[in-house]
Amino acid sequence: MSRIHIVTDSTAHFTDPTFPARHQITIVPLTIHVGKQTFRDGVDITTGQLFQRVKPNGTPLPSAASPTAEQFAAVYDELHKTGDQIISIHASGKLSHVPHNARLGADNFQGRCKIIVIDSLSTSIGLGVLVEAAALAVERGESLDEIVKLVRGMVPRLYTVFFIETMDYLAQAGRIGKAQAVLGQMLGIKPFLTLEEGDIVPMEKVRTRAQAIEKMVEFVIEFSDIEQMGILQSSPHHTEATRSLLEQLAVEFPGREWPVVTYGPALATLLGPDAMGVIIYEGQSDPESSSISDDNEWED
List domains and CATH numbers for the chain. 4-155 (3.40.50.10170), 157-282 (3.30.1180.10)
> What SS3 state is found at 263?
coil
Least Cα distance to 234 among 57, 56, 49, 10 occurs for 49
Between residues 299 and 11, which one has the greater pLDDT?
11
Q: pLDDT tens, 26-85?
A: 999 999 999 889 999 989 999 999 988 887 666 688 999 999 999 999 999 999 999 999
Give the global pTM.
0.88
- Per-residue model confidence (pLDDT) at position 71: 98
Q: pLDDT tens, 178-221?
A: 434 434 453 456 788 899 999 988 888 787 889 999 999 999 99
Q: pLDDT tens, 77-130?
A: 999 999 999 999 999 999 999 999 999 999 999 989 999 999 999 999 999 999
Instruction: Using alpha carbons, list the distances in angstroms from residue 217 to 84, 152, 201, 203.
Output: 45, 28, 19, 14
